[in-house]
Structure 1
């Protein structure tokens, strides 16, 4: 027996039987059970489970009419919205595979998400459609999108909404503008309403637990982002287990503000709630005053977040006017929760902040703290049905308790492998005692009670407010700037984001004295997702290099830490 079993929540089994059905089937079941119950709330407009399921059937039929077939990859490029939930379930209902894409990506980044999964169809919102069309239109004939379905935010709410449900004033242009549909050079653009008016019969639902369900992309130490192949089984395991872990039930009300293009928001929030028949109160992005009002108005019981959101809400001058007494479960990950804030939550609201840990490759949690006995700034214990160990990255042998090593994970939530990358897949797994373990690339230790703690990273990565930034990807984009001869990306401390992105740049001789640090920072913001774009930049005459000519990034990182 592993030591953490002594602290296992009494009400829960150590492992679960994963349903043999597809993730879409959870919506079908909840719609039959609770047809009139509110599934989604968006700026005051409610959508019932019955209405959501009916819309999914119509959208699936429309996608089938566009040529979407079993196993086809379909892009969803959206912020949190009812349309995102509808898009995911419609694609699954049509037996196809969801490719969730971060809406902060720019055209140059978006091209990879079209060509790598061979996507021919995309669903997006009006504010992002032009950028996605720009990406597709720049691709060679035959490799671009054939169909793009475009919704406007105002398809899902009443723009004259007032009171606690009203969007922040600074969001009104963004949310209420009805953008013109862009031109798609290699295909057609369709309005959302047209798809929802479809009266055709959707295809028979034929996919099951072993079929591909979702293909989220993760970056790494080298090259372009790689698709993580998750079958319905791996997603279903973590949706069901997350629902059970947080003591979920059909009366649960969840504040959906962590992004659902990301694996945590998608699996532990959207899919877990639909499985339960619970209610999702959706925020398209973070705003502390709106969050405070929505928690109070809808008596939110469950809030998955990143710690910076809690810190921000508690810093609001209106904090004392918000009613947070309905909250029963609050937790998250992506960054450590400061001890003082966790203590205040406990003293003021009796809430223990439950931190968890997982990766895109593990469909969100591979570890979680027991809700009734969490430890602060701790990954928690191996999740339901999961075996996790700490090994020596060189010898691949398990290290003694308390010693640092690489965290490796075995369980039904672990992905099948990287899309079209057999070598990377082979390198990501090792066998221990006949079981296939995924190598996380994170260094950690286990305490005497079996709780895991992260100590360092084997992989070179920056964690900015929970968003993972891979330096190699940012450097590759920066090399496209005409003034940049060389660039090395390192992390710098940031009081709010935890870490932020810093660029150390060598300028081409032809551009010396003609370009400022701010010029390059502005260019970066224009050409890459805002969370990846460097916030700080310094010019140097040369980057430190090893005998073989490799940039010694660790040396720059260490001098930044010392400074």
Structure 2
């Protein structure tokens, strides 16, 4: 067990936690019994208590079971933006013993169709603004209009169009219709080792992979996160990260509701709304991605708001620029502390200690996590300060990639008699036991905190009739961290007949907004090895040189 970080461990915390024997659904049940009249969710001026949530979860679960015949182990797609309905849907799916398949609301039809077929999704709960992307792909769907949960007169201006849009006519079951059916679900029999969630991670081979998680792995990080921040039910959390994302669902949804705190939901990021909500609801905690903090502090009107209630700002996905961290500390006296995790570990395996964070650092291993740095070729453990692949062993690590035994086997290794997950991230551990990212073994691009796998983007580009060859890389971007760029060779007969802009416009229709290439460069040839393999690193280095010149 690596214990080098123990001297940096918060004094008030034990170094080990017992993962509860209960389920994620049980967390809501307990909070609703403890705090029935306490506000659980604020939504653009509307408020909903724990009892409100519990009753609607029961009603929706009953509908799923009796109208859609959803049974234990069935996969149910959750495809919507942040809203009260997302929370109710998540718990309702778990209430009937089914498996939540959270899908990025930016995903388009082809991406959705793959996931539906890959894991055999039985039914879906969908936001109406993205319903057309999934129309005809599932036999049973509930469609939700976010405006159903708004107050009569929201105290905020310029709300997103999808938030204020009234419920529309469609051939599916409307959210209000499902709840009005007043169906009662069967007795709950969930166990902590039941499969509960199947989030998808984009694949290095161009094929997304479902990560099989039980209640146990989610509970490990839900309770770990609560203890790390000294969680209390008096806290108010700004839920600005999307709930489909592993960090958003753990830190902005499951953890706050487990400890009886309140969450304040943003359907879409808006720096003015964020500041106004911090002031209005006396928000104490905000977990985010660094690009949100950069935008938040760039607001010329930020000092018009009283945001002194904030006691903790943290995040991950991309390092916060040092200058921004210093500005945050000078203004609010707060240290930004970062964490590290993956879809396979359902958020954090590493945390920066709140009392001693290091900027642009992954942090130290979390509760009961054993993390090492190994040589990716020999698989031997490396010494302090040496760069290698980060591997982790802990209670939050997933079970397997759904129906992909070979890729599952490749993702794990044995060390000192324990099974470690190979993250594919190159890093080092310093003398204090803190981990730092250096590079990636996997070809992954981090665009505004979202993971983009170049091979997946390339597989979409090859479907374009004019494209003969494509290579995708990440290039530096001051706002997004990295941007997606594609080098494209056209078929000879297409040269001069299609433009880079047309390729980008086509790609935008085929892929989620964070995935499609924002830049396309036509080339007659690409650098390759003797065997014809494209040298993507050479292109990456060329772009790096270009950006520095």
Structure 2 partner of 1:152? 145
Structure 1 partner of 2:158? 168
Matches of 2:157 and 2:341, distance apart in 1: 32
Q: Pick the aligned partner of 1:329 from 312, 324, 331.
A: 312
After the TM superposition, which of the residue ranges 191-200 and 10-19 deviates more from structure 2?
Answer: 191-200
Three-state SS of the structure 2 residue aligned to 1:116 is: helix
Structure 2 partner of 1:130? 132
1:183-216 deviation digits (Å, cap 9, x = unpaired): 4xxxxx2110111123232112112111101000
Matches of 1:474 and 1:89, distance apart in 2: 33
The alpha-carbon deviation at position 174 of structure 1 amounts to 2.6
| Residue pair 1:150, 1:181 contacting (<8 A) in 2 also | no
The alpha-carbon deviation at position 327 of structure 1 amounts to 0.9
Structure 2 partner of 1:277? 260
| Residue pair 1:239, 1:267 contacting (<8 A) in 2 also | yes
1:418-439 deviation digits (Å, cap 9, x = unpaired): 0000001000001111111000
The alpha-carbon deviation at position 223 of structure 1 amounts to 3.1
The alpha-carbon deviation at position 307 of structure 1 amounts to 1.0
Question: Tell me, which stretches of 5 or more residues in structure 2 are unaligned?
Answer: none
Structure 2 partner of 1:142? none
Structure 2 partner of 1:186? none
Structure 2 partner of 1:13? 14
- Is 1:453 the counterpart of 2:446? The answer is no
After the TM superposition, which of the residue ranges 442-451 and 2-11 deviates more from structure 2?
Answer: 2-11
| Residue pair 1:545, 1:551 contacting (<8 A) in 2 also | yes
1:493-512 deviation digits (Å, cap 9, x = unpaired): 11111110001000111211
Matches of 1:107 and 1:437, distance apart in 2: 35
The alpha-carbon deviation at position 342 of structure 1 amounts to 1.0
Matches of 1:2 and 1:368, distance apart in 2: 14
Matches of 1:182 and 1:195, distance apart in 2: 14
Q: Equivalent residues in 2 for 1:369-408 (5 A)?
A: 369-408=352-391
| Residue pair 1:43, 1:167 contacting (<8 A) in 2 also | no
Question: Tell me, which stretches of 5 or more residues in structure 1 are unaligned?
Answer: 137-144, 184-188
Number of matched residues?
Answer: 544
| Residue pair 2:44, 2:154 contacting (<8 A) in 1 also | yes
Structure 1 partner of 2:460? 477
Matches of 1:404 and 1:436, distance apart in 2: 21
How high is the TM-score relative to the length of structure 1? Answer: 0.95
| Residue pair 1:501, 1:532 contacting (<8 A) in 2 also | yes
Structure 2 partner of 1:263? 246
Structure 2 partner of 1:560? 543
Q: Equivalent residues in 2 for 1:415-434 (5 A)?
A: 415-434=398-417
The alpha-carbon deviation at position 182 of structure 1 amounts to 4.0
The alpha-carbon deviation at position 120 of structure 1 amounts to 1.5
1:80-138 deviation digits (Å, cap 9, x = unpaired): 1100000000000011000000000111111012111101100011101111115x1xx
Three-state SS of the structure 1 residue aligned to 2:119 is: coil
Structure 2 partner of 1:139? none
1:379-422 deviation digits (Å, cap 9, x = unpaired): 00001111100011111111010000000000000000100000
Structure 1 partner of 2:83? 81
Matches of 2:376 and 2:527, distance apart in 1: 26
The alpha-carbon deviation at position 181 of structure 1 amounts to 4.3
The alpha-carbon deviation at position 274 of structure 1 amounts to 1.2
Q: Equivalent residues in 2 for 1:42-53 (5 A)?
A: 42-53=43-54
| Residue pair 1:126, 1:178 contacting (<8 A) in 2 also | no
Matches of 1:198 and 1:388, distance apart in 2: 49
Q: Equivalent residues in 2 for 1:504-515 (5 A)?
A: 504-515=487-498
Three-state SS of the structure 2 residue aligned to 1:249 is: coil
- Is 1:532 the counterpart of 2:519? The answer is no
| Residue pair 2:148, 2:166 contacting (<8 A) in 1 also | no
RMSD between superposed Cα atoms in Å: 1.1
Q: Equivalent residues in 2 for 1:24-423 (5 A)?
A: 24-65=25-66, 66-134=68-136, 136=137, 145-158=138-151, 160-162=153-155, 166-168=156-158, 171=160, 173-178=161-166, 180-183=168-171, 189-423=172-406
| Residue pair 2:368, 2:395 contacting (<8 A) in 1 also | yes
The alpha-carbon deviation at position 473 of structure 1 amounts to 0.6
The alpha-carbon deviation at position 167 of structure 1 amounts to 4.6
1:58-101 deviation digits (Å, cap 9, x = unpaired): 11110001110001110000111100000000000011000000
The alpha-carbon deviation at position 179 of structure 1 amounts to 5.2
| Residue pair 2:82, 2:242 contacting (<8 A) in 1 also | yes
Three-state SS of the structure 2 residue aligned to 1:250 is: coil
Matches of 2:59 and 2:124, distance apart in 1: 16
| Residue pair 2:461, 2:507 contacting (<8 A) in 1 also | yes
Structure 2 partner of 1:141? none
Matches of 1:476 and 1:181, distance apart in 2: 35
Matches of 1:371 and 1:277, distance apart in 2: 22
| Residue pair 1:292, 1:322 contacting (<8 A) in 2 also | yes
| Residue pair 1:129, 1:181 contacting (<8 A) in 2 also | no
| Residue pair 2:206, 2:453 contacting (<8 A) in 1 also | no
| Residue pair 2:363, 2:435 contacting (<8 A) in 1 also | yes
